[in-house]
Amino acid sequence: MKLRADQSGLLGIPMPLWLQGAVEALQAVLISAFLTVVPLAAVWLTGGFGPLPPEAAARLGGQAWLLVHGVPLRLSDLGATVDGGAAPPSTTVLRLVPLGFALIPFLLSWRAGRRLARASYATTLWQGLLGAAALYSLAGFATAFVCSTSAVSASVGVSAAVPLIPVGLGLIVGARREAGSWSRLIGVDAVDWIARTGQYSRWTGSYFWAVIRGGFVAAAMAFGLAAALLALDLAVRWADVVTVYEALGAGGVGGAALTVAQLGYVPNLAVWALAWSSGSGVVLGTGSTAGALSTAVGPLPPIPVLAALPTASGPFTAAAIVLPVIAGVLGGWWFQRAGEDHFDEWLSIKVPVRWFSASVSALVLGLLVGAVAGLLAGGAAWLSGGSAGVGRFADVGPSPLWTLVWVGAETAIGAVIGYALAPWLERGQLARSAAASAKA
């Protein structure tokens, strides 16, 4: 991008990278704000919010924009009364990020990161990234300052810092995607650096990198199976979901806005489905827990998607705990196919007893793959849960610690099984390929 000297088509001085980064971030701010405000504006225009003044509706849109970026909102109850007198104001926190909507600033920043990497060298890319981050931080600060009220408020410091997490991640990932490699992105020749290390260091690094990728494969498969389970449950209980829609009587626009809001929480629900299937369970307010092994759920708010929640546990629901195990099998099988099992090679040389070295290798691999998958699942559980800020729903979502433990243990078992079965599975595939080649 360059600044034009005039309208004749002649190019003037190049646009500074920090300014280009600010322009890219401004585009992301405006587009994300537009996509956030449109559903709220539709509901407001149809009278869904009652006699709400335009300035209050605009502040509501800004508060929703902050929530999409992960900023917690403080909700103050200033109108409570006790025995006819005013009660002390109470404050709760709304921190339940719609992960589906959080993808919007991430993808817009991913696009900005690619454009900035295309317009700069590796040694100057930081200027564009810094300009983009500064503009986005300023936008968060200004939104919190303007849109905070006595009833709903956000810390200006937190609002300036927290949006930089999805935005900064998108900028870095986008820049790396355009550069093609991390070494080109940071201007360091990683291949030359690795070549100067010892052979054992290279083997160790290759082994642990393969373990991390195997754990990621297992976690991704677990999330995919949980999402499929969620879709199946919604299909089976769709009549209950429709009944709640009809009972609400929100109308066409209100029903559409409610559907859009629920779609923003679909990734959250997929993570909750993973925690439910693993056995760690999901907390749905004080005294309510739902899991494949035990369920005790109290009254829930009239949200249509919650009507699909299984209300009891039994042998069929308990069988869902096999899903993370299946994901671990895929992770162990993928690791075997990667061909980086240098720990097993080293151990088989040190300990000639093959049954012992193979067993230890499988157990170590299962622990490592389970740890990686468990950490990813625990992190996702932390992101997907939070506080709805209303009554007993101050704590909703899965426990990050117990999700880590349960998913990690189950994927570890599956990884050991997949690692043990991989040679026979690969041998059968090679035999079928050889037979097909012989017939040809």
pLDDT tens sequence across 2-30: 444 444 454 556 778 899 999 999 999 99
Q: What is the pLDDT of residue 392?
A: 77
Structure tokens at 338: 């990667």
Estimate to the nearest angstrom the gap between the alpha carbon of 403 and the chain centroid.
Answer: 15
Mean pLDDT of the chain: 84
Residue 96: Cβ within 10 Å count = 20
Q: Is 321 within a domain?
A: yes
Check whether residue 372 and residue 317 sit in a common domain: yes
The label of the residue with tokens 């999901």 reads 282
Check whether residue 317 and residue 355 sit in a common domain: yes
Check whether residue 182 and residue 289 sit in a common domain: no
Q: What is the pLDDT of residue 310?
A: 80
Selected residue with higher pLDDT from 288 and 74: 74
Check whether residue 177 and residue 225 sit in a common domain: no
Q: Is 191 within a domain?
A: no
pLDDT band (50, 70, 90) for residue 171? very high
Check whether residue 248 and residue 367 sit in a common domain: yes
Residue 241: Cβ within 10 Å count = 18
Average pLDDT over residues 112-116: 92
142 vs 145: CA distance, rounded Å: 5
- Per this entry, what is the length of the chain? 440
DSSP string, 142-157: HHHHHH--SSEE--HH
- Inform me whether the pLDDT recorded for 316 exceeds 80: no
Q: Is 6 within a domain?
A: no
119 vs 175: CA distance, rounded Å: 10
Helix (H) or strand (E) holding 384: helix 354-384
299 vs 283: CA distance, rounded Å: 13
- Inform me whether the pLDDT recorded for 31 exceeds 50: yes
User: If you average pLDDT over each of 187-196, 201-210, 343-352, 360-369, which comes out highest?
Assistant: 360-369
Check whether residue 235 and residue 372 sit in a common domain: yes
pLDDT tens digits for 225-270?
999 999 999 999 899 898 988 888 777 888 888 888 899 999 999 9
CA-nearest of 12, 10, 13, 22 to 115 is 22
Among residues 164, 186, 208, the one where a domain terminates is 186
Query: Residue type at 175?
Result: A
Check whether residue 37 and residue 117 sit in a common domain: yes
- Which residues form the domain of 134? 12-79+87-186
Q: What is the pLDDT of residue 428?
A: 56
Check whether residue 328 and residue 238 sit in a common domain: yes
Among residues 145, 167, 186, the one where a domain terminates is 186
Helix (H) or strand (E) holding 179: helix 164-179
Give Cα separations from 316 to 100, 236, 358 (angstroms): 30, 14, 35
Cβ distance 330 to 383 under 8 Å? no
Q: Is 282 within a domain?
A: yes
183 vs 207: CA distance, rounded Å: 20
259 vs 269: CA distance, rounded Å: 14
Q: Is 387 within a domain?
A: yes
Q: Count up the domains in the chain and report the number.
A: 2
User: Helix or strand or coil: residue 91?
Assistant: strand
CA dihedral 332, 334, 336, 342 (to 10 degrees): -90
Check whether residue 36 and residue 149 sit in a common domain: yes
425 vs 336: CA distance, rounded Å: 11
Q: Is 192 within a domain?
A: no
Among 50-64, 204-218, 287-301, the minimum mean pLDDT is found in 287-301
26 vs 33: CA distance, rounded Å: 10
The label of the residue with tokens 């280009």 reads 20
Give Cα separations from 421 to 49, 91, 426 (angstroms): 59, 55, 9
Check whether residue 165 and residue 107 sit in a common domain: yes
Structure tokens at 234: 């919604």
Estimate to the nearest angstrom the gap between the alpha carbon of 365 and the chain centroid.
Answer: 26
Q: Is 240 within a domain?
A: yes
CA-nearest of 182, 174, 181, 187 to 24 is 174
CA-nearest of 429, 360, 413, 419 to 222 is 413
Among residues 167, 186, 205, the one where a domain terminates is 186
Q: Is 225 within a domain?
A: yes
Check whether residue 297 and residue 170 sit in a common domain: no
Half-sphere exposure of 38 (CA within 13 A, CB side): 7
Cβ distance 126 to 53 under 8 Å? no
Check whether residue 102 and residue 61 sit in a common domain: yes
